[in-house]
Structure 1
Amino acid sequence: MIYIENKKRKLEKIQEQYPNADILDITSTASARYAQILSPFFPHGNIPIPFSPGHYATCVEGIWQGLKVFESCGIDMDSFTNTTMSGLKRTVRRFGPPRGHQKGLNSTELLNYFDARMLIYLPTYKWVLDNVAEVHKVVMHIAERAKDHDIVFLDYNTNTEFRDTSTPISHAGLVKLYIEGKYPQEGETYLPFTAEEIAQRKEAIKEAKKQAKKNKKENKQLNLFE
Structure 2
Amino acid sequence: MSKRRGSSPTALSLSSELSQTAKRIRQSELPPLPSSVGLVVVANRRTKSETLQRKYPGSAVIDVTAKGPMPWRKFSPFYPHGDIPVPTQPSQKGMSVEGIWQGLKCFEKEGVDVSKLTKTDMKDMKRGKSLRRGKVLGHAQRCTASTPSSSPSDHLLGYLQARKRIYLPAYLTLLERMKDEVQELKALREKSGLILLDYNTNEDIENCQKPLSHAGLIKLYIEDGYPKV
Separation in 2, partners of 1:15, 1:140: 23
Tell me the amino acid that sits aligned with residue 153 of structure 1.
Answer: L
Tell me which stretches of 4 or more aligned residues in structure 1 moved more than 6 Å.
Answer: none
Instruction: Give the TM-score taking structure 1 as reference length.
Output: 0.77
**Aligned pair count?**
182
Which residue does 2:186 correspond to in 1?
Answer: 143
- Does the residue aligned with 2:168 lie in a helix, a strand or coil? helix
Gaps of 5+ in 1: 187-226
Pick the aligned partner of 1:59 from 93, 96, 120: 96
* Corresponding position: 1:180 with 2:218: no
User: Any conservation in 2 of the 1:51–1:105 contact (CA below 8 Å)?
Assistant: no
1:130-209 equivalences under 5 Å are 130=176, 132=177, 135-186=178-229
Which residue does 1:16 correspond to in 2?
Answer: 54
Compute the RMSD of aligned alpha carbons.
1.3
1:42-96: CA deviations, max 9, x gaps? Answer: 0000000122232111000000000000111001011000000111000113632
Gaps of 5+ in 2: 1-38, 145-152
* Corresponding position: 1:124 with 2:162: no
User: Any conservation in 2 of the 1:49–1:63 contact (CA below 8 Å)?
Assistant: yes
120-129 vs 49-58, which deviates more?
49-58
Which residue does 2:134 correspond to in 1?
Answer: 96
* Corresponding position: 1:6 with 2:44: yes
- Does the residue aligned with 2:98 lie in a helix, a strand or coil? helix
Separation in 2, partners of 1:116, 1:42: 20
1:119-162: CA deviations, max 9, x gaps? Answer: 000010001111x2xx2210111112212321100000001111
Tell me the amino acid that sits aligned with residue 53 of structure 1.
Answer: P
